[in-house]
Amino acid sequence: MSEWESVIGLEIHAQLATRSKIFSGASTAFGAAPNTQACAVDLGMPGVLPVLNREVVTMAIRFGVAIDAEIDHRSVFARKNYFYPDLPKGYQISQYELPIVGKGHIFISPAEGEHREIGITRAHLEEDAGKSIHDQFVDQTGIDLNRAGTPLLEIVSEPDMRSAKEAVAYARKIHSLVRYLEICDGNMQEGSFRCDANVSVRHKGEDKLGTRAELKNINSFRFLERAINFEIERQIDLIEDGGKVVQETRLYDSERDETRSMRSKEEANDYRYFPDPDLLPVAITEADIASIRAALPELPEQKKQRFIDALGLSDYNAELLTASRETATYFETALAAAPGQNAQLANWILGDLAGALNKAALDINASTITPEMLAQLVARIADNTISGKIAKEVFEAMWQGEGEADAIIEARGLRQITDSGAIESLIDAVIAANPEQVEQFRAGKEKVLGFFVGQVMQQSQGKANPGQVNAILREKLKS
């Protein structure tokens, strides 16, 4: 039997970062008391009508331009009809025919040096539903409609991904892009960025797609990878055991790390889409698109290329630094404060800083070490005030909140010893105290040099300039 291949497409719901809702003037702020941000329009009161938020249209077009998509001059809202208690009107205002963003594409790098193009079928605007709270009351479900009417951009990919890893790389790329574009805050915990995955399997070489399952309820990239991997395994096992995959919606349960069928959505849906008669077609002119294009910020791909070409960074580092807008901004701010320290800053940000942030589960914006502070640290290495090793100590102290590099260096007396007279006297003392090792070196045992360097550095409490120590030691030991 030939090898299995998995086929994955993602539907990403990005909550657009507007102040007010897509069709009403109610606030979109997260975390308010239940139903305090649900106005008459959001509640679907009899007689109310929707009016479209301009910013929502602009944001969607911004996304469309960034993925090089077709943007039609007419875009139409449709009603998707179904009954559910968190859907107040009994229909969701969405788009069916004529979505605002048509076919586009982006590039992902699932691994170092690997590049793949992923097609985006469409991106359409729609209103979010409210929330059903199942654990507040014994026999009742509570409905909070604060989220109802929050603008969403649903980004639908082609089934172009072949592994969970690729799917995650794609999701991260979209996540990064919407944040670059400042159209979505990307907060997955609060549900501002949600991924549904369509997963199917087939034998390699087959053209026909297998029956797919739609995975929902995935609120982190880690879970996305796990859920897809679980589902791929489940489908392969099922088919190999003689079973058949059924088209269904499955919920990912992160606690059990498994997907399970949503029985409540068993019934075949007939959404009865039709153009919403309360809303008119949105007219989009070439001039609208051009002005939005002109106002676009530098996009990750462009920035990455500039980091490689103009700053001489490696493809890999440039990719990592541009993976999020915040990281790129951090890097660029630091670089402005320490011009020329391109590689050094990149290494610190992607190495020690990333490690510390990761350990503390902090976002780079929440870092105690500001870009300016990191720039000062790197500058002190460059001007030989401290060694790279001492710099790690200073970094740690800065991380702990002890202040800026210069202050820490002063307070702890970490300034590097570069006075050759002082270094020579340290070396003389070490040589005098270790005649045996001196003999060994002179007999040709070169690696004893390391022992001497270590001793001198220890005596200097790490402050002696390692380059000078090396050079002077060699000279003195030879003589």
Closest CA to 338 of 384, 380, 397, 396: 380
Q: What angle do CA 365, 369, 370 make, to 5 degrees?
A: 60
Task: Quickly tell me which residue has 């911004």 as its tokens.
Answer: 62
Number of Cα atoms under 13 Å in the Cβ half of residue 114? 11
Give the interface segment with another protein, choosing from 54-62, 103-111, 222-230, 463-471 (CB under 8 A): 54-62
Which one of residues 5, 48, 347, 466 is an interface residue with another protein (CB under 8 A)?
48
**CB neighbourhood size of 75 (10 A):** 22
Cα–Cα distance measured from residue 127 to residue 87, given in angstroms and rounded to the nearest whole number: 10
Which one of residues 114, 115, 141, 340 is an interface residue with another protein (CB under 8 A)?
141
Longest dimension (CA), the chain: 99
**188 sits near another protein (criterion: CB under 8 A):** no
CB of 100 to another protein, least distance (A): 11
The SS3 call for residue 276 is coil
Residues 55 to 74: which contact another protein by CB under 8 A? 55-57
Which one of residues 1, 2, 3, 33 is an interface residue with another protein (CB under 8 A)?
33
Nearer Cβ to another protein (50/64): 50
Nearer Cβ to another protein (130/371): 130
Nearer Cβ to another protein (53/121): 53
CB of 292 to another protein, least distance (A): 14
Nearer Cβ to another protein (14/373): 14
Cα–Cα distance measured from residue 367 to residue 294, given in angstroms and rounded to the nearest whole number: 32
**27 sits near another protein (criterion: CB under 8 A):** yes
Closest CA to 318 of 300, 335, 333, 298: 300
Which one of residues 239, 251, 449, 453 is an interface residue with another protein (CB under 8 A)?
251
Residues 74 to 93: which contact another protein by CB under 8 A? 79, 81, 83, 85, 88-91
CB of 301 to another protein, least distance (A): 28
Residues 104 to 133: which contact another protein by CB under 8 A? 132-133
Which one of residues 6, 8, 12, 53 is an interface residue with another protein (CB under 8 A)?
53
**144 sits near another protein (criterion: CB under 8 A):** yes
Joined tokens for residue 173: 């790329």
**368 sits near another protein (criterion: CB under 8 A):** no
**421 sits near another protein (criterion: CB under 8 A):** no
**191 sits near another protein (criterion: CB under 8 A):** no
The DSSP-derived string for 375-411 is HHHHHHHHTTSS-HHHHHHHHHHHHTT---HHHHHHH
Cα end-to-end distance, the chain, whole Å: 74
Q: Which long-range contacts (CB under 8 A, 24 or more apart) does 258-261 make?
A: 258/230, 259/213, 259/215, 259/227, 259/230, 259/231, 259/234
CB of 124 to another protein, least distance (A): 15
Nearer Cβ to another protein (278/410): 278
Task: Quickly tell me which residue has 């007939």 as its tokens.
Answer: 270
Task: Quickly tell me which residue has 């949503």 as its tokens.
Answer: 262
Size of site (CB under 8 A) for another protein: 66
CB of 191 to another protein, least distance (A): 16
**350 sits near another protein (criterion: CB under 8 A):** no
Closest CA to 376 of 414, 417, 409, 411: 409
Closest CA to 365 of 377, 375, 373, 357: 357
Nearer Cβ to another protein (17/378): 17
**CB neighbourhood size of 319 (10 A):** 19
Which letter does DSSP use for residue 352 in this model? I
Give the interface segment with another protein, choosing from 27-35, 175-183, 196-204, 350-358 (CB under 8 A): 27-35
Joined tokens for residue 297: 């910020």
Question: What amino acid is encoded at 381 in this protein?
Answer: I
Write the burial class of residue 81 (CB in 10 Å: 0-12 exposed, 13-18 middle, 19+ buried).
middle
CB of 83 to another protein, least distance (A): 5
The interface mask with another protein, positions 258-297, x = CB under 8 A, is: ----xxx-----x-xxxx-xxxxxxx--------------
Nearer Cβ to another protein (138/443): 138
Which one of residues 4, 5, 11, 39 is an interface residue with another protein (CB under 8 A)?
39
Joined tokens for residue 409: 């260096």
Residue burial 13-22, b: 16+ Cβ < 10 Å; e: rest: bbbbbbebbb
Which one of residues 31, 46, 401, 413 is an interface residue with another protein (CB under 8 A)?
46
Chain residues binding another protein by CB under 8 A are 18-20, 24-27, 33-40, 43-57, 79, 81, 83, 85, 88-91, 132-134, 136-137, 139-145, 251, 262-264, 270, 272-275, 277-283
